[in-house]
Amino acid sequence: MNLFNREKEMKEILSIIEFEPNFIYFIYGPINSGKTALINEIINNRLDKDKYVVFYINLRRYFISKYGDFVEVLFKEYEENKKPIELVKGLIKDTPMLFGIPIPKNTLETLLSKKEEKNIFDYITNILLEIKEDGKQPIIILDELQKIGDLKINGFLIYELFNYFISLTKELHLCHVFCLSSDSLFIEKVYSEAILNGRAKYLLVDDFDKETAIKFMDFLSERVLDKKLSNEEKELIYSYAGGKPVDIIYVIQKLKDKNLKEVLNYLLNDVKQKLKYFLEDVKEEDEKLYKEVLEALKIFKESYEVEDITIDKKVREFLVKGNILFLDPIEGILRPQSFLVWNAIKILI
């Protein structure tokens, strides 16, 4: 399915790519707001592959518990006895992006055996330099970067990585770097880090507003159901699912063989039960925290969004970490992860 109504975000990212690399860019937003879909649309359908070489690394797919795990995710080994840049040139003829930095077999083992991140980063830099000398612009995209946020290697790996990304963007102007994350606590953490002041920018990919959500329903219903929904039906869908693209898609697809109220009640009941069990676990573990969580969630019975400091930091972070709330640290706004979660809060609290 084609990406719907993300022209503003795509235009901004494409404009960034056209200019010399200067910043690390963090693309963030609520769960399932379409961040990965957006970046894939740009890579696959909007970039000229004769001008750009994209290295896309999705950390979501891997279990990473130590430095070696992370390094292995960065690279993709090949049997061919070729120089790395020759591997790159051969691969980009057939694909708009590479899933890892190409490396000849056994070379990665040699780099890992030295146990120094400098060797790893030097290897990557040399490949990027050769790509640049070949007249193409390299781009690195790391999806779900927060997975290594607490991984220690002589301190924290994330700091070493940020330092390296700063050298690629702000200092060498060699490579664009985009980091995607739905973990708003991670974004809050990197936003407040002094090391990134003046070196990073933040792009929000949010759920749709009401007007866009209604248009999306029109687009989907005509395409999937071959009919139009009534205004009442669209208002009802929005009251349950809000502007969450994945929830709207689910509802429209299910309308092929189920009635609307049944579909919406199923979605809401699913989220409500999960929230109920979440609260039950909190109460069992910590009665004091449970009471604080209830008081915090009561705020959302009247409002969908509140200022972040309205809720105590410890409770706020607990609810964000539990994917009950979404924090936008750049705007200082706190809200439920979705309309479904919001509706569940209003029913249960």
What confidence tens digit (pLDDT) does each residue in 62-92 have? 777 777 788 888 888 887 777 777 888 888 7
Mean pLDDT confidence for 259-274: 97
Taken as a whole, the chain contains a residue count of 349
Task: Convert the pLDDT of each residue in 156-191 to its tens digit.
Answer: 677 888 899 999 999 999 999 999 999 988 888 888
Same domain, 216 and 107: no
Looking at the chain, the whole-number percentage of residues with pLDDT higher than 70 is 95
32: left (phi over 0), alpha (psi -120 to 50) or beta: left
Instruction: Summarize the confidence of residues 90-111 as an average pLDDT.
Output: 80
Number of domains in the chain: 3
pTM for the model stands at: 0.90
Looking at residue 322, its pLDDT comes to 94
pLDDT number for residue 150: 65
How sure is the predictor about 113, in pLDDT bands with cuts at 50, 70 and 90?
A: confident
Among 337, 307, 302, residue whose Cα is nearest residue 322: 337
Q: pLDDT-based confidence at 107, cuts 50/70/90?
A: confident
Pair 199, 219 in one domain: no
127 with 73, same domain: the answer is yes
Identify the DSSP state of 319. H
Residue 244's nearest CA partner among 45, 34, 3 is 34
Classify burial at 304, counting beta carbons within 10 Å of its beta carbon; exposed 0-12, middle 13-18, buried 19 or more: exposed
Tell me: do 150 and 220 sit in the same domain. Answer: no
Q: Are residues 223 and 276 in the same domain?
A: no
pLDDT of 268-306, one tens digit each?
999 999 999 999 999 999 999 999 999 999 999 999 999
State the angle between helix axes of 117-133 and 157-166 in degrees (0 to 180), rounded to the nearest 10.
30
What is the reported pLDDT for 114?
65
Are 337 and 229 found together in one domain?
no
Are 200 and 223 contained in the same domain?
no
Q: Are residues 124 and 29 in the same domain?
A: yes
Structural domain of 320: 270-349
Same domain, yes or no, for 43 and 165?
yes
* Whether residues 196 and 286 fall in one domain: no
Residues 118 and 100 in one domain: yes
Confidence class for position 115, pLDDT limits 50, 70, 90: low
Q: Are residues 163 and 307 in the same domain?
A: no
Task: Write down the pLDDT at residue 299.
Answer: 97
At 155 the pLDDT is 52
Query: Do 327 and 189 form a contact (C-beta atoms < 8 A)?
Result: no
Q: Which of 85-89, 100-104, 325-329 has the lowest mean pLDDT?
A: 85-89
